[in-house]
Structure 1
Amino acid sequence: MLDFIYFPVSWILWFWHKVFGFVFGESAGISWVLGIIFLVWSLRAILFKPFVNQVRSMRKMQQFAPEMKKIQKKYANDRQRQAQEMQKLQKEHGFNPVGGCLPMLLQIPVFIGLFHVLRSFVPGHTENYGFDAQGVQSYVDANLFGARLSNFITQPQAALDQLHADRTSVILVSIPLMILASILTHLTARHSVTRQNPESATGQTAIMNKLTMYIFPLGVLLFGFFFPIGLLFYWLANNFWTLMQQRLVYKRIDSEEEAKKNEALEKRSNLAPKPGAKPEQARKKPVAPAPGTKPQPGVKPAPNAKAAGTARKTQPGAKPAPNAKAAGTARPKANGAAKSSGTDNGATGDSTVSGLSSDRSRKKNSGRKNR
């Protein structure tokens, strides 16, 4: 029924067993152990990209966790409206909850497939998916410190006798693997919990953190009594990969976020004025219009523009000539007198006319003063 899972898992294990069997021998226990470990790492390498997306999705969820709390509090009595607002918020932030669970969901069929393939290595079987009868017998005969990879601690004695294995040897090999796998499970969960945002913590989150940090490692320790040694190596290799992958991915994402923050700060510092410098204000000084031209509409004339125009006519420090206005007004009369004298006495010169006009003007001035 699940052959689409069993065959790929079996073929990958067959490939790595051939690689290490060429070096250590096909029936050597180390060849099968390394084959199982690299089978796990190959499958996890395929899931590396989805894992990165999972971490990014979790970080996004932690960023808008306070907004989710507000929605939960606002629509506490309306579950349908609460779900709608949650979906709207997730769509705005580009968060996909299914994508965050994808790597974990994909590991389940891998575990089921490997568990079934390893338990199918039974003496007398002529084939096991990708392995022929010789491959099956090679796995059955693989010896690891007096134990077989298909042995487990609670295995019936008849099965141990059939495989020519000793229970004490099985316990000595299985217990250290169980303890180490349990410790790595705890460290992996602890590293993930420490990266969570405290503001996004809820009651359910606290319960899940305790389950992953304490209950799951304890479960690995207890179920190890029923797991074959080969499957314990799978669990150990999987937890080791997860721990190292988390450290690498979180460090990479932290550096990216730090670079974005530094870039934003640098932009702000470039736009801000330097310390001690006043912000420049563009002030347009009004320009005085040229003499004889009208000022343009909307443009104010320069201050003291009129005074500047008059200063050009009279130089600073120069006094106007005395009786300039009177002299200016007397000129037309003098011309009139000259005309009349010219008609009466045609033989007289210009000097006589000018003398008469000056005498008349003096008499008029002296008469005004006496009055």
Structure 2
Amino acid sequence: MDDKRNIIMAVLLTGIILFGWPMLMETFFPDMANKNETVEAANASGNDQSDAGTPNVSTTPQVGADVAATTQVGKLRSVAAALPESPRIAIETPRLKGSINLAGAKIDDLTLTDHTIDLSKDSAPVRLFAPSGTKDAYFNRFGWAGEGVKLPDDSTIWTADKAKLSPGNPVTLSWANDNGQNFAITYSIDENYLVTAEQSVINRGASPIALNPYGLLSRTRDLDNVLPAEKSTWTIHIGPVGVFEGTANYDWDYDDVMEAGSKGADFNGTKGWIGFTDKYWLGALIPTGSGKIDAKFRSGNGDLFQAQISRDSAQIIAPGKVLKTTTRLFAGAKETVLLDTYKEKYNITLLDRAIDWGWFYWFEKPLFYLLHWLFEMVGNFGVAIIIMTFIVRGIMFPIAQKQFASMAQMRAVQPKMKKIQEKHKEDKQKQQQEIMKLYKDEKVNPLAGCLPIFLQIPIFFALYKVLMLSIEMRHEPFTLWIKDLSAPDPLTPVNLFGLIPFDPPAFLAVGILPILMGITMHYQFKLNPQQMDPMQQKIFSFMPWILVFIMAPFAAGLQLYWTVSNVLTIVQQKWLYSRHPQLKEQMAKDAEEKAKAKEAEAKG
């Protein structure tokens, strides 16, 4: 029993450390440098998020190299001011709206019409891409690297054959130099978030040329309109991401890329993709074909970052010949079903790993699909979470029965164990041998009761990841005051449930759901039949209230799951106690013995 109590205590304390420590660090020691990163970038380089104008074959595009003429140093433009500065063609799909900048052939204006910044009625749609020189600059560009050839750069004005890019309506941009080379980029787009860009070069010159097509994504570290407080944590990766040689890489963050500088970090291979991920959004470059590619993260002045892909070597284009390269751009929401669909349809290696599922990926995806199916059936994400909780607890019920049976057996042999401990208190080795013999004779497994604890760890962590990462839950209401299950419970007694005009700090804004979670957990621990020493008793009595504050900043969906799970556990425990009355009898007897011991100690 001592071993079991220690294991349970260790598991609970580990949970507090794992879930509580990141919250405490972010609450009391925020990274203040990030709050001023856009201003610092602007002061350092005019917030120039451009790439090089004419890179050569051996060097792919640099970050922030040559747009001093378009942005005054230290000054940022609004998106509304930047958009009319150059000719554009519209992008319009059922889920995207924006434009392509004909100066540089950049996709630098993109909003997600299905997703708003917040829940207010007049909330603007989420802006993913924004022009260079704006506060939230983030854009895509395709180009060519080469030597001895005049190439289009980020200021080249392209000619479009149509005024709008939409599903089933591709657009071709074209430009020609004075030496007989004709460049073209044909964009097509689907009804969701996938753009296909076919780059082509016709060499009408007299001599062969060597070119290397590339694609890039350039951005600042944060997008204030999208993720004002989101940072990469040990459970949720935000920042540079990619799949290289069949493995998802979450090891690089913005600070690592900054250390690598303009030289960058190379990830070469044959299949994969590269880009930047936020909690809910993704920008990714996906090469097609089977040839080798050179993928790279690099940084420029200030907090400016670039992800880029090119072929591993230049290709020779003889006179009269054509070089064509196709690359896909994903720019949108990380919807699990859609990512899986693209993965299968276009054979994109591990595109679903743009969501940082973590260690229990094999278990989390089925849980997500179960939750998603339930949501489609009932139409309310909160109700779907409750039903899923019933399902999970139902699956765990046979194991809980075995746990209680084991606990009943352990209680039954407790008097015999005490006699052995008293008889051999001077000989610990003999005491242990006799206890093991007792277990064998009585057919008791002291570790059987621990199995549900270990099984619930991956289940809870998997649910935590599913509920925290699923954009499908973002801005989904439950009932009454809970309008967004992806955000913390907003109703807190700290400000008398909104009656006092005061917004408490995150670590004090304890909502109704976390409080209910703490109350149910406290009652659940009260039903726990295990005998504990005074120190363990104190730890377990404080545990629910500590977890209330730890869980307060988490998504209401996770708080709802935990609260409902506690209620079901209480009901389950009461029913199982009725099946094993010896547990309650032993608990009453233990309580009586403890009371007598305390009374004797007080008198002594």
Q: Which residue is 2:459 aligned to?
A: 110
Residue in structure 1 matching 2:370, options 6, 12, 26: 12
Please state how far the C-alpha of 1:209 moved relative to its aligned partner. 3.7
RMSD after superposition: 3.2
Q: Which residue of 2 aligns with 1:191?
A: 527
Q: Which amino acid aligns with 2:515?
A: I
**Match 2:475 to one of 122, 126, 141:** 141
**Alpha-carbon displacement from aligned partner over 1:149-206 (angstroms, at most 9, x marks no partner):** 111379xxxxxxxxxxxx78x999961111111111111111234xx6xxxx5xx444
**Conserved in 1, the CA contact under 8 Å of 2:408 and 2:583?**
no
Distance 2:539 2:519 in 1: 14
Structure 2 matches for 1:229-244, cutoff 5 A? 229-244=556-571
Mapped partners of 1:101, 1:177: distance in 2: 28
Aligned amino acid, residue 49 of structure 1: P
Task: Give a deviation string over 1:19-60, Cα, whole Å, max 9, x none.
Answer: 212xxxxxxxxx111111121221111111111111121111
Residues 174 and 232, structure 1, Cα contact 8 Å, conserved in 2: no
Give the partner amino acid of 1:191: L
Q: Pick from 178, 190, 211: which aligns with 2:539?
A: 211
User: Which residue in 2 is equivalent to 1:182?
Assistant: 518
Q: Does 1:252 align with 2:588?
A: no
Measured in 1, the distance between the counterparts of 2:408 and 2:535 equals 19
Question: In the alignment, does 2:398 pair up with 1:49?
Answer: yes
Query: Which residue of the other structure, out of 401, 425, 433, is the alignment partner of 1:76?
Result: 425
Does the Cα contact within 8 Å between 1:147 and 1:173 map onto a contact in 2? no
Distance 1:6 1:101 in 2: 23
Structure 1 residues 9 and 205, CA gap change in structure 2 (3 angstroms): farther
Deviations 1:64-121 (A, max 9, x none): 1122122223333443333222221112112112211112221111110011112212
Contact 2:403–2:450 (CA under 8 A) maintained in structure 1 = yes
Runs of 4+ in 1 over 4 A off after TM superposition: 170-174, 255-258
Counterpart mapping for 1:83-98 below 5 A:
83-98=432-447
Kindly indicate whether the alpha-carbon contact (under 8 Å) linking 1:184 and 1:239 is maintained by their aligned counterparts in 2: yes
8 Å contact 2:411–2:582 — kept in the other structure? no
* 2: CA distance, partners of 1:2 / 1:237: 23
Contact 1:50 1:103 in 2 (8 A): yes
- Aligned residues of 1:40 and 1:238 also touching (Cα < 8 A): yes
By percentage of residues, which structure has more helix? Answer: 1
Q: Matched residues, percent identical?
A: 30
Match of 1:61 in 2: 410
Query: Could you tell me which amino acid in structure 1 is paired with residue 377 of structure 2?
Result: V
1:281-323, Cα deviation, whole Å (9 max, x unpaired)? xxxxxxxxxxxxxxxxxxxxxxxxxxxxxxxxxxxxxxxxxxx
- What stretches of structure 1 of length at least 5 have no aligned partner? 22-30, 123-135, 155-166, 259-371
Q: 1:20 to 1:172 in 2, by over 3 A?
A: farther
Q: For residue 232 of structure 1, report the CA deviation from its aligned partner.
A: 0.3
User: SS of 2:444's equivalent?
Assistant: coil
Q: Give CA deviations for 1:256-296 in whole Å, capped at 9, x if unaligned.
A: 999xxxxxxxxxxxxxxxxxxxxxxxxxxxxxxxxxxxxxx
Aligned partner letter, 1:190:
K
Decide whether aligned partners of structure 1 residues 97 and 8 sit closer, same or farther in structure 2, where only a CA change above 3 A counts: farther
CA distance in 1, matches of 2:584, 2:555: 43
Q: Contact between 1:50 and 1:99, CA under 8 Å: does it hold in 2? A: no
Equivalent positions of 1:232-311 (< 5 A) are 232-254=559-581
Q: Do residues 99 (structure 1) and 448 (structure 2) align?
A: yes
Report SS of the residue matched to 1:150. coil
Residue 320 of structure 1: aligned partner: none
Question: Which position in structure 2 is the counterpart of 1:368?
Answer: none
> Which amino acid is the alignment partner of residue 7 of structure 1?
K
| Equivalent position amino acid for 2:573 in 1 | Q
Q: What residue number does 1:361 align with?
A: none
1:4 positional shift = 1.9
> Match for 2:456: what amino acid?
Q
- Contact 2:408–2:582 (CA<8 Å) still a contact in 1? no
CA distance, structure 1, for counterparts of residue 393 and residue 489 of structure 2: 28
Equivalent residue letter for 2:522:
H
2:409 partner letter? K
1:36 matched residue in structure 2: 385
Q: 1:141 to 1:234 in 2, by over 3 A?
A: same
| Higher relative contact order (Cα pairs below 8 Å, separated by 6+ residues) | 1
Q: Show the 5 A alignment for 1:306-321.
A: none
Letter in 2 for 1:141: H
Give, in whole Å, the separation in 1 of the partners of 2:509 and 2:365. Answer: 29
Amino acid in structure 2 at the alignment position of 1:90: Y
Letter in 2 for 1:140: R
CA contact 1:71–1:86 (8 Å) conserved in 2: yes
Give the Å deviation of 1:3.
Answer: 1.1
Q: Is 2:475–2:483's contact at 8 Å kept on the other side of the alignment?
A: no
Contact 1:185 1:239 survives alignment (8 Å): yes
Q: TM-score under structure 2 normalisation?
A: 0.32
Contact preservation (8 Å) 2:360, 2:458:
no
In structure 2, C-alpha distance between the alignment counterparts of 1:18 and 1:47, rounded to whole Å? 25
Q: Check conservation: 1:174, 1:229, Cα contact below 8 A.
A: no
TM-score (norm 1): 0.51
Count of aligned residue pairs for this structure pair: 213
Greater CA deviation, 5-14 or 234-243?
5-14
- Select which of 360, 385, 389 maps to 1:2: 360
Q: CA, structure 1 residues 94+10, in 2 after alignment: closer, same or farther (shift >3 Å)? A: same
